Structure 1
Amino acid sequence: MSTVVTGEAVRLDLPSASVLTRGLSAMIDWFVLMVLLSVTTAFFGGAAEGTGFATDPAMAAAVMLGTTVLVLVVLPVSVETLSRGRSLGRLIMGVRIVRDDGGTIRLRHAVIRGLLGPLEFLMSLGLIPLLCGVFSAKGKRLGDMVAGTHGILTRQPPVPPMMLPVPQHMSSWTQVVDVGRVPDPLALRVSRLLRTAERAGRGGNQVVLQRTADALAAEVRPYVSPAPPPSSSLDFLVAVTAERRNREFRRMRRNQQRADELNRRLHRMPYS
């Protein structure tokens, strides 16, 4: 998961595509392009048999060069621009190319990536994009680094909601506690731990779960006030997470009720 800051200073958490996923999508794309290049070259070669172009080496070289540029550069750039960062391989693997600020790529991004594509994949036999992807935080290849783009995953498995109730012995504490200062990244780590503990049950490594819960509880305690009653670290984290969820739900419900009331008032107003 990578954090992207848009031009409006909005933080987005976009799942970056791994090197393996992008490599498979690139292999599919280049396989299709090679087949298309072979078919196109054979077609132009057969069409030139009945003309004088077949005996002219300069004309044959020009046609071959033009066909190669058309198939390996112009076609991928056009497809990537019109589909807004997609291709056949990326569509199959669930990958999309976006700008570093999370926006849709434009023609200039596709042109830069398209011009560097043959250099990366053909002349280096895929070694350059492999090395760049391994040592890049977002799995970028050389064309992405120059164009300012990266690949994200567009298909994610559905995540079922986690409906953990507030522990009974901490319900009175959660009614007065201030949990609004807990940072969102820390709350996300707590949610991941609780989801892991919920899936593992008694069959998981309880020692590791308890140790991780103790460490996270020590990080969360400075952000809550008043101090919690005596309880285990897991119960404390469950109470904080459940109360944050409940308060967010109540806030969203109040906003929806205000919006519905405003909508009713606007529709009751006489039209001039």
Structure 2
Amino acid sequence: MQLTINTTQNVKIYFNQAPLSSRIVASLIDLCCLIIYCIGVFIFWNSLDLSSYFSDDLTIYSIILILLLPAVFYSLLTENLFNGSSLGKKIMKLRVIKLDGYHATFADYLTRWIFRSIDVMIGSGVIGLLSVIFSDKGQRLGDLVAGTAVISTKSNVNLESTIYQELDDNYSVTYHQVLKLSDNDIRLIKEVMNDFKKSRNHKLLSTLVTKIEKTLGVKSKNSSHLQFVDIVIKDYNYLSQQKA
């Protein structure tokens, strides 16, 4: 199912909505990670016999609780660290994004984490599951409040929809700052360019160029907006292929 997002510049961007099955598998992977971590903490504690170093139970329980805090904040920490993906989401190629097309912020991840207790903990996840099923954009309660959604980052197989471009080995890079962008950013840029070629909406193109310049911290060195965007895409392709 495709998810359509209208940006603040009234540009339509299309994402693949995360399948429910993929989200369930991602959640199970995350649960396994949490279980492994908690078991690891108790093995570490018992193997070093740390209880013998403390005289009262309150101190022991407090220290164990501190060691388990990463598990409590797991989704908040991983989504903030991996740009909207927990370990499970990363494996299943899922990501949290804002409904305005921009990257989610720490505040958004925090909101999702706070509402996780209602979505996932209460009723063994039934509330979150029903919310995802009946929401138009597949959002659980935390997503609805944060204004986020979970998308699939899996690429379509046809070459036109990918970021790949064939370039000569002696290609000269103009904007090295393009590595601040991600594969998904380049894919979105290509989608906006495809929309421009159909509509010839120059305001749309100008807005795209302004956004790219602001993100990269550069000013266009090219004679036209079209040439600038084309070179940005080529530069990213060349540099990312060199890194691979």
Report if TM-score (shorter chain) is over 0.5: yes
TM-score (norm 1): 0.54
Bigger radius of gyration among the two: 1
Partner of 1:145: 144
Cα separation, 2, equivalents of 1:116 and 1:6: 25
Aligned to 1:35: 36
Residue 27 and residue 133 in structure 1: after superposition, are their counterparts in 2 closer, same or farther (change >3 A)?
Answer: same
Q: Residues of 1 paired with 2:35 and 2:120: CA distance? A: 12
1:59 corresponds to which residue? 59
Tell me by how many angstroms 1:118 deviates. Answer: 4.4
Q: Which amino acid aligns with 1:42?
A: I
- Cα distance change of structure 1 residues 33 and 118 upon mapping to structure 2, 3 Å threshold: farther
Alignment CA distance shift 1:152-1:63 (3 Å): same
Name the structure 1 match of 2:27. Answer: 26
Distance 1:119 1:39, change over 3 A: farther
Normalised by the length of structure 2, the TM-score is: 0.60
- Cα deviation, 1:95-135, whole Å, max 9, x if unaligned, reads 11101112111111112222333443334322121111111
Consecutive unaligned residues in structure 2, runs of 5 or more: 161-193, 201-222, 229-244
| Counterparts in 2 of 1:119 and 1:62: CA distance versus 1, 3 Å | farther
Following the alignment from structure 1 to structure 2, what is the Cα–Cα distance between the partners of residues 92 and 70? 20
Aligned pairs for 1:77-156 (under 5 A) are 77-156=76-155
CA RMSD of aligned residues (A): 2.8
Q: What stretches of structure 1 move > 4 A for 4+ residues in a row?
A: none
Gaps of 5+ in 1: 162-244, 252-257, 264-272
* Residue from 43, 48, 51 that aligns with 1:49: 51
Aligned AA for 1:51? Y
Quick check: 1:72–1:118 contact (8 Å CA) kept in 2?
no
Residue deviations 1:42-62 (CA, integer Å, cap 9, x gap):
323444233125xx2222332
- Tell whether the 8 Å contact from 1:6 to 1:102 is kept in structure 2 after alignment: yes
* Aligned counterparts of 1:99 and 1:158: Cα–Cα separation in 2: 25
Q: What amino acid is the match of 1:98? A: I
Q: Deviations over 1:138-174 (max 9, x none)?
A: 111122122221111111331377xxxxxxxxxxxxx
Q: CA deviation at 1:22?
A: 1.1
Alignment map for 1:183-194 (pairs within 5 Å)? none
Separation in 2, partners of 1:149, 1:111: 12
- Counterpart position of 2:180: none
* CA-to-aligned-CA distance 1:212-236 (integer Å, 9 cap, x gap): xxxxxxxxxxxxxxxxxxxxxxxxx
Q: How many positions carry a matched residue from both structures?
A: 167
Name the stretch that deviates more: 106-115 or 38-47. Answer: 38-47
One-letter amino acid of the structure 1 residue matched with residue 30 of structure 2: D
